[in-house]
Structure formats: structure tokens, C-alpha cells
Amino acid sequence: MTNYLLEVKDVRAGYIKDVDILQGLNFHVEHGELVTVIGPNGAGKSTLAKTIFGLLTPHTGTITFKGENIVGLKSNQIVQRGMCYIPQIANVFASLSVDENLEMGAFILNVSLKPLKDKIFSMFPRLADRRHQRAGTLSGGERQMLAMGKALMLEPSLLLLDEPSAALSPILVTQVFEQIQQINSGGTAIVLVEQNARKALEMAHRGYVLESGRDAISGTGSELLNDPKVAELYLGVSRAH
């Protein structure tokens, strides 16, 4: 009997009936683990994250979180069980302040939010400096930090991140990845769906390469970084002839 935090078994899922993007995919996350998901566009990376979080219902297969099959649960029910999802776009409330966004992240809690907010502001000092600023006026990197901070207000066991480095400058990508590592080192398990394959694998405990909706290759981050096929296809390294 496995004791994974999250386990996806033989899942087929898609946006249209009888058209599966995920083709019997298997995937798991252990407690406190940082797992990276890479692969070409259309491989099913974002579909996997949305299916885990209940935004899509699998056509077949099971998804177990903390020992419970969560297939069929709504996203708000999954949040209450300790999982949060940060989509690539539209991940903050642009018209609300930084402070108000953090409060919205913890709307299901009936406790004083000040200690939680103080914890987020110590983790993201730039957000503390802009706590009264509207989220829509933040830079791309600051907005991504706010999206992560908003999710962390619930102190989740598992955080799903969908392309957090998309459209960010290289220096902001580095900052966001450092924050992801910091969150993980605090004990939060993370599933990182990412196009920046090299950086994502360098900090991952394990990784999966998706191809055509299947878990084509898996291994530790270092194993995938040193796999010739992965290097050629996703890391821009040519094989020696």
C-alpha cells in the first residue's frame, strides 16, 4: 500500500467527450516533494494540473489525495482538503489591493488573518512594500509572487503551479524559482508545470516528461537532466555524433 500525498492512476481526460488529451497517465507526488512536469506544447501538462484540481473530470482512472479518491469533487472541496492551484493567467484579482488579495485567498478560514499575512509578507518583502497597491498595477514577477502568496494563505499540503515563469524576464524567473524552492523547503509539496525545463529540473526532486498525454519518461531531476533524449528534445543540447 503506497502512502503518496497524491497519486494519479490510469487517468484519461480531455475537454471533449471521447477525445482524451491525457492517455492513461500515471503520476505521483510524495509528501514534501517538488515534482516538475515538462514536455512539448499540447502534451497535456496544463490538462494534468486542471484534472488534478477538479476543473476537468477524468473519463477513466483515479486521483487520490491524502488517501481519498477526489475524482468528482469540485475545486472548492479540493481546496478544503489542502490543495491549491495557481493558473498561468488570471491568477490575482486585479482591482483589489495586495492586502485584499491575500484575504481573498483565505476566505474559507474563520481565524485572524494577520499572522498568516505577516508570514507571507516576510516571505515576499516586495509584496509588503506594495500591500495597499492594486494588484493590476504590479509587475509580472510581483503578480506571480502575489498569486503564490494568496494560495499559501491556506497553508496547503500541495501547491499546483502552472507555468509560473511564463512571460517573465530572466531575472524575475530566477526570483520566482527561488521563492518556489523556499516554499518547498518549508514543507509544502509542489507540482511545477514548466516550459523552462532546465531550471525546473535542476531544483526538482523528481520529474516527468509528458508526450502525447502519457508519462513517457520519469526519474529524479538529475536523471532527466542527464538523459540524452531529454537533453536533445527539451534542454537544447545536441547529441554527439
Domain ranges of the chain: 6-93+158-234
pLDDT band at 41 (very low <50, low <70, confident <90, very high): confident
pLDDT of 169 reads 83
Asked whether the predicted pLDDT for residue 240 surpasses 80, the reply is no
Q: Which CATH architecture has domain 6-93+158-234?
A: 3-Layer(aba) Sandwich (3.40)
CB proximity list for 110: less than 8 A, separation 6 or greater: none
CB 197 within 8 A of CB 171: no
SS3 161: strand
- Average the pLDDT over 148-153 and give the result: 92
Give strand ranges (E) for 14-157: 22-29, 34-38, 60-65, 68-69, 83-86
Confidence band of 37 (pLDDT split at 50, 70, 90): very high
Contact present, 124 and 175 (Cβ < 8 Å): no
pTM: 0.91
As to burial, measured by CB atoms within 10 angstroms (0-12 exposed, 13-18 middle, 19+ buried), residue 30 is: middle
Pairing of strands 206-211, 214-220: antiparallel
Helix or strand holding residue 8 (H, E): strand 6-13
User: In the predicted model, is pLDDT for residue 98 greater than 50?
Assistant: yes
- The confidence band for 85, taking pLDDT boundaries of 50, 70 and 90, is very high
The confidence score (pLDDT) of residue 12 equals 95
- Per-residue confidence (pLDDT) for residue 175, from 0 to 100: 87
Is 70 exceeded by the pLDDT of residue 151? yes
Report whether pLDDT(170) > 60: yes
For residue 125, the 8-state DSSP code is: H
Q: What is the reported pLDDT for 14?
A: 92
* Residue pair 113/99 in contact by the 8 Å Cβ criterion: no
In 3-state terms, the chain is what percent helix, strand and coil (to 5)? 35, 25, 40
pLDDT > 70: percent of the chain? 97
Structure-model confidence comparison of residues 112 and 187, the more confident one:
187
On the question of pLDDT at 184 being above 60, the answer is yes
Of residues 127 and 235, which shows the higher confidence score?
127
Is residue 162 a contact partner of residue 174, using CB atoms and an 8 Å limit? no
pLDDT of res. 241: 39
